[in-house]
């Protein structure tokens, strides 16, 4: 029977990850990673691990990102050597900036095949640079160093003897990857390692192996819980300063809780997960520009990563404002050069400044936007006056047939989403419209605003759906994005036939190109033909045919009534909903 140190090490490593709370692994097929892949599928058969297969490593990385974004526990992503590893970089960067725990498992060639032109061999140790909290170039399983004294003539001829970090190895007893699983999980959760304590992020285990790359064998693991997160000592904020709480992407309910405890106005982006509560400020952009309110702010307490408005950025850049930022990602928020970073915050006891809060709440009440259709004219519909009755009927028909615009689209999706659902916004024009017009609602919201890229949006949404619907949990995941964000990640639509079909609606506001550039400087400085070619990138892709090719249900809706029906009807699997929009 063939003995494979690589298989033994792979089984040990994955069992250790499972024992420390990892429940999901996303893999892309490859030869060098076969021992790890077979160990993963064996654990999947036993129910110890959920395995998701994606042929595109970039899609795999963002699927893992979505799974970890929703579950908040480390998710492993596995690939072979070469360019496969490089395709994980975009998701790794987003995970670093958003504070998402990922465990990157990249298979690799052994040291003697590096730097000599071997097939699919590149410089993988350190490939993710500053974006990982831990980077380990593991030992080759079943091997120990070859010394000059024990090297054979063949070892020397093959360049496999010498000293230093590249010195090669020969078989020995033991499992080379023992302990790496626990280390990786703890570093990904910010419990130990080079990262900020309590802040999650990605880690990288580079895993070289020699042939035989796999062999038949038993793989077993006992699922365990992830290590408890670090509970940081909060910074206690004194009262007295005119304070606002700002909730950016990934802020979560902590921002609303602090706002309530302090009696401070809550400025919450729509992607924050904190856009609810009685202290929520409507129309915050206008109020921040008002010298009587925004101009008098003395302190801003920031949760998450605010990115959607120039007004918030301008406030946080002011040198006369005390900014306290609760760290959530790998990069500190310090726009004014004197920001105080805090692992957590609390409020000192005492009465709230009712005058300050009242001024904000009074101004906020007049700026709430209601996009719901007007109630039917019951009196007119049942009037004995024919003209009045026909007018009421015509008004109802006009409301039913009203063409969807961006405001109606974001409002319909918001209204259809409830706490058991999940909503993800792509980095398209629609998220900015949503931030301007939507009111408060306590629903789980996601968005990749760590770097605000359009890449991986569909894959991330699918990961969120898979995590939130695991073990039979109810709900629908909705991804609202633009047409270019969809086309950028079209490969994510390919789902394995033998894996669960998530209940997901990918809702595409299709205006035929990148109109998000309408609001940027380039729109007023570039010639029209240059704008079209280099920025708007007009497209005419037939999304119905695209959905059919990938086996997704397709709907095209253009009226509010049809959109409401599509969003609230029961679904059993993935849907692509196209909403044509005017340029």
Q: Are residues 383 and 412 in the same domain?
A: no
Domain boundary among the residues 352, 385, 401 is at 401
Residue 263 scores a pLDDT above 80: yes
pLDDT category, 194, cuts 50, 70, 90? low
Which of 63, 46, 50 has the alpha carbon at shortest distance from 21? Answer: 50
pLDDT for the residue numbered 169: 39
Q: What HEC string does 212-269 produce?
A: CCCCCCCCCCCCCCCCCCCCCCCEEECCCCCEEEEECECCCCHHHHHHHHHCCCEEEC
pLDDT category, 3, cuts 50, 70, 90? confident
Domain boundaries, position 154: 5-208
Average pLDDT, the chain: 90
CATH number assigned to the domain comprising residue 77? 3.40.50.970
Q: Which residues contact 79 (CB under 8 A, 6 or more apart)?
A: 27, 28, 30, 33, 57, 60, 85, 87, 88, 105, 106, 107
Which of 523, 452, 454 has the alpha carbon at shortest distance from 489? Answer: 454
pLDDT for the residue numbered 580: 96
Domain boundary among the residues 190, 208, 226 is at 208
Q: Are residues 192 and 64 in the same domain?
A: yes
- Cα separations (Å) of 583 from 186, 541, 576? 48, 16, 21
Residue 121 scores a pLDDT above 90: no
pLDDT for the residue numbered 171: 38
Residue 80 scores a pLDDT above 90: yes
Residue 328 scores a pLDDT above 70: yes
pLDDT for the residue numbered 117: 86
Residue 493 scores a pLDDT above 70: yes
Q: Is residue 216 part of a domain?
A: no
pLDDT for the residue numbered 536: 75
185 vs 396, residue with greater confidence = 185
For 35-64, what is the mean pLDDT?
Answer: 97
Q: Is residue 223 part of a domain?
A: no
pLDDT for the residue numbered 162: 39
Q: Are residues 304 and 317 in the same domain?
A: yes
Query: pLDDT (tens digit, 9 = 90+) per residue, 126-185?
Result: 999 999 999 999 999 986 544 344 344 434 333 344 333 344 433 333 478 999 999 999
| Tokens of residue 227, six digits | 């290590």
Residue 524 scores a pLDDT above 80: no
Q: Are residues 472 and 511 in the same domain?
A: yes
C-alpha 333: how far from chain center: 19
Residue 515 scores a pLDDT above 80: no
pLDDT for the residue numbered 520: 65
Q: Are residues 195 and 311 in the same domain?
A: no
Any alpha helices (H) in 31-82, and if so which ranges? 34-46, 57-71
Q: Is residue 217 part of a domain?
A: no
Q: Are residues 198 and 56 in the same domain?
A: yes
For 328-339, what is the mean pLDDT?
Answer: 91
pLDDT category, 61, cuts 50, 70, 90? very high
pLDDT for the residue numbered 134: 95
Q: Is residue 69 part of a domain?
A: yes
386 vs 70, residue with greater confidence = 70
Asked whether 201 and 94 are in contact (CB, 8 A), the reply is no
Q: Are residues 200 and 269 in the same domain?
A: no
Which has the minimum average pLDDT: 271-280, 306-315, 530-539? 530-539
Q: Is residue 148 part of a domain?
A: yes
Q: Are residues 302 and 389 in the same domain?
A: no
Q: Are residues 40 and 189 in the same domain?
A: yes
Domain boundary among the residues 365, 391, 424 is at 365
For 489-494, what is the mean pLDDT?
Answer: 98
pLDDT for the residue numbered 519: 66
C-alpha 239: how far from chain center: 35
Q: Is residue 227 part of a domain?
A: no
The 8-class DSSP code of residue 308 comes to S
Q: Are residues 139 and 160 in the same domain?
A: yes
Number of compact structural domains in the chain:
4
Asked whether 69 and 108 are in contact (CB, 8 A), the reply is no
Which has the minimum average pLDDT: 157-161, 198-202, 244-248? 157-161
Q: Are residues 42 and 160 in the same domain?
A: yes
Which has the minimum average pLDDT: 80-89, 155-164, 531-540? 155-164
122 vs 401, residue with greater confidence = 122
> Which residue in this structure is represented by tokens 């709907």?
555
Residue 189 scores a pLDDT above 70: yes
Q: Is residue 71 part of a domain?
A: yes
CATH number assigned to the domain comprising residue 316? 3.40.50.1220
Q: Are residues 541 and 435 in the same domain?
A: yes
Q: Is residue 215 part of a domain?
A: no
Q: Which residues pair with 347 in a beta bridge?
A: 237
Asked whether 536 and 502 are in contact (CB, 8 A), the reply is no
Which has the minimum average pLDDT: 122-126, 367-371, 466-470, 478-482? 367-371
In the chain, % of residues over pLDDT 70: 92
pLDDT category, 82, cuts 50, 70, 90? very high
């Amino acid at each position: 029977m063939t003995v494979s140190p690589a298989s033994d090490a792979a089984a040990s490593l994955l069992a250790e990850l499972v024992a420390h709370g990892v429940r999901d692994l996303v893999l892309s097929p490859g030869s060098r990673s076969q021992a790890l892949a077979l160990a993963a599928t064996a654990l999947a058969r036993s129910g110890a691990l959920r395995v998701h297969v994606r042929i595109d490593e970039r899609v795999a990385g963002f699927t893992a990102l979505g799974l970890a974004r929703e579950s908040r526990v480390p998710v492993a992503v596995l690939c072979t050597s070469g360019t496969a590893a490089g395709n994980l970089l975009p998701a790794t960067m987003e995970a670093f900036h958003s504070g998402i725990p990922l465990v990157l498992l990249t298979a690799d060639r052994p040291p003697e095949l590096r730097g000599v032109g071997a097939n699919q061999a590149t410089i993988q140790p350190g490939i993710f640079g500053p974006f990982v909290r831990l980077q380990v170039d593991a030992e080759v399983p079943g091997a120990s160093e070859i010394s000059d004294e024990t090297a054979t003539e063949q070892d020397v001829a093959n360049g496999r003897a010498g000293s230093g970090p590249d010195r090669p190895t020969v078989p020995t007893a033991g499992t080379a990857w023992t302990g790496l699983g626990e280390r990786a999980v703890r570093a990904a959760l910010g419990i130990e390692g080079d990262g900020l304590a309590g802040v999650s992020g990605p880690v990288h285990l580079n895993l070289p192996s020699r042939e035989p790359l796999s062999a038949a064998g038993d793989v077993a693991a006992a699922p365990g819980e992830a290590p408890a997160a670090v509970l940081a000592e909060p910074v206690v904020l004194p009262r007295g300063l005119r304070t606002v709480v700002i909730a950016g992407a990934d802020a979560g309910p902590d921002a609303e809780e602090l706002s309530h405890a302090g009696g401070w106005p809550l400025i919450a982006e729509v992607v924050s997960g904190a856009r609810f509560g009685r202290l929520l400020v409507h129309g915050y952009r206008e109020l921040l520009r008002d010298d009587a309110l925004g101009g008098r702010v003395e302190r801003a307490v920031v949760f998450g990563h605010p990115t959607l408005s120039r007004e918030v950025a301008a406030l946080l850049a002011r040198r006369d404002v005390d900014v306290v930022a609760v760290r959530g990602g790998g990069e500190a928020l310090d726009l004014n050069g004197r920001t105080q970073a805090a692992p957590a915050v609390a409020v000192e006891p005492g009465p709230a400044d009712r005058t300050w809060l009242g001024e904000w709440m009074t101004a906020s009440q007049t700026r709430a936007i209601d996009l719901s259709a007007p109630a039917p004219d019951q009196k007119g519909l049942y009037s004995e006056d024919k003209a009045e009755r026909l007018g009421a009927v015509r008004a109802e028909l006009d409301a039913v047939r009203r063409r969807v615009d961006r405001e109606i689209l974001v409002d319909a999706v918001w209204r259809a989403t409830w706490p058991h659902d999940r909503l993800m916004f792509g980095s398209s024009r629609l998220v900015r419209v949503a931030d301007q017009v939507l009111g408060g609602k306590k629903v789980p919201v996601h968005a990749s605003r760590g770097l605000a890229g359009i890449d991986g949006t569909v894959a991330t949404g699918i990961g969120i759906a898979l995590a939130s619907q695991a073990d039979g949990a109810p709900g629908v995941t909705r991804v609202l994005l633009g047409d270019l964000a969809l086309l950028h990640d079209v490969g994510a639509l390919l789902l394995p036939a033998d894996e669960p079909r998530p209940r997901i609606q990918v809702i595409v506001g299709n205006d035929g190109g990148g109109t998000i550039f309408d609001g940027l400087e380039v729109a007023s400085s570039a010639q029209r033909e240059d704008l079209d070619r280099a920025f708007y990138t007009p497209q005419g892709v037939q999304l119905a045919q695209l959905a059919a090719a990938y086996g997704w249900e397709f709907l095209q809706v253009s009226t509010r009534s049809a959109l409401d029906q599509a969003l609230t009807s029961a679904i059993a699997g993935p849907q692509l909903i196209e909403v044509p929009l005017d340029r």
